[in-house]
Amino acid sequence: MIFDTHAHYLDARFDEDRQDVISSLHDNNVACAVEVSAGVDDFYDIISLTEKYPFMYGTIGVHPSEVDKLNDEWLHKMEELAANDKIVAIGEIGLDYHFDDDPEPTVQKMWFKKQIELAQKVNLPLIIHSRDSAKDTLDILKETDAGKTGGVIHCFSYSKEIALECVDMGFYIGLDGPVTFKNGKKAKEVAKTVPIERLVVETDSPYMAPDPIRGTRNFSGNLKYIISEIASLRDIPYDDMEKILFDNARALYRLEDKCLN
């Protein structure tokens, strides 16, 4: 069975058939999935979604592109919502310097640190989003001692050396579609290098569809392509790889007793 550690089924691209897609997951060999929050508008919908589907878990967190909407009142509310049994992480939070019209780095950094503090307070792992911001991300993770809380660097896009540094701090590395791309050399190197017990897989649905269906709307059933690529890169039989990644995902989200194969 497969565990999708990062999906966004609340995205508008699922408005037409959300229920059908989520209900089809079991038939596609997916046992569990985590619906990841991007902003304050997601929180209550995520909790409803996890209440509706026993095999779905959720997170509370604000993506760096959305931190303009954050304030201390929301932060307080997030602490309350994080106490819900189905909320398994704080995320996705972090830094994204890719787009010029995103909030200023100083603003992103402030809310990144405050949300790490929140995770430490409520004792939940972190889901880190980091794009074109490796140095500042690592600096903040070190400065806040975030490795002790742990979590995952999701959709990992940096070098294998940086991946190992994150693993040393205490993080998992999340791989998705790019590891299957012909030009995904960096992600393939990371998949080969990171200690096997520190790798997790994710779709980031509806984004990041893997080869051979690149460019289509993604869903958790497509994780088989990613697992298959990692299995061949590591020279491990597919079924063994699937089991290892399932167990890693449960360990990441501390769901060993709950999400059963």
Binding site for Ni ion (CB under 5 A): 204
CB closer to Ni ion, 4 vs 204: 204
155 or 167: CB nearest Ni ion: 155
Would you say the C-alpha torsion 78, 254, 110, 10 has a positive or negative sign? Answer: negative
Residue type, 220: S
Nearer to Ni ion, 204 or 229 (CB): 204
Tell me, what DSSP letter sits at residue 56? E
* Residue among 186, 188, 195 at smallest CA distance from 248: 195
Q: Rounded to the nearest whole angstrom, what is the least distance from the CB of residue 238 to Ni ion in the complex?
A: 25
Q: For the CB of residue 13, give the shortest distance to Ni ion in the complex, in Å.
A: 13
Instruction: Choose between 128 and 231: whose C-beta lies nearer to Ni ion.
Output: 128
Q: Phi and psi for 112 in degrees, rounded to 5? A: -60, -50
User: Which CB sits closer to Ni ion, 96 or 231?
Assistant: 96
Residue number with CB closer to Ni ion (89 or 231): 89
Tell me how far, at minimum, the Cβ of 39 lies from Ni ion, in Å.
11
Q: Residue 155 CB, nearest distance to Ni ion (Å)?
A: 7
Taking the CA atoms of 46, 187, 93 and 209 in sequence, report the sign of the dihedral they define: negative
The sheet that has 171-175: what strands, in order across it? Answer: 2-7, 30-35, 56-60, 87-96, 126-131, 151-153, 171-175, 199-201
Strands 199-201 and 171-175: parallel
Residue of this chain nearest to Ni ion (CB atom): 204
58 vs 81: CA distance, rounded Å: 11
Least Å from the CB of residue 240 to Ni ion: 27
Q: Which is nearer to Ni ion, 13 or 243 (CB)?
A: 13
Q: What is the smallest separation between the CB atom of 8 and Ni ion, expressed in angstroms? A: 6
DSSP one-letter code for 103: P
Q: Three-state SS for 16?
A: coil
> 76, 27, 75, 79: which is closest to 55 by C-alpha?
27
For the CB of residue 106, give the shortest distance to Ni ion in the complex, in Å.
23
In contact, 128 and 161? CB cutoff 8 Å: no
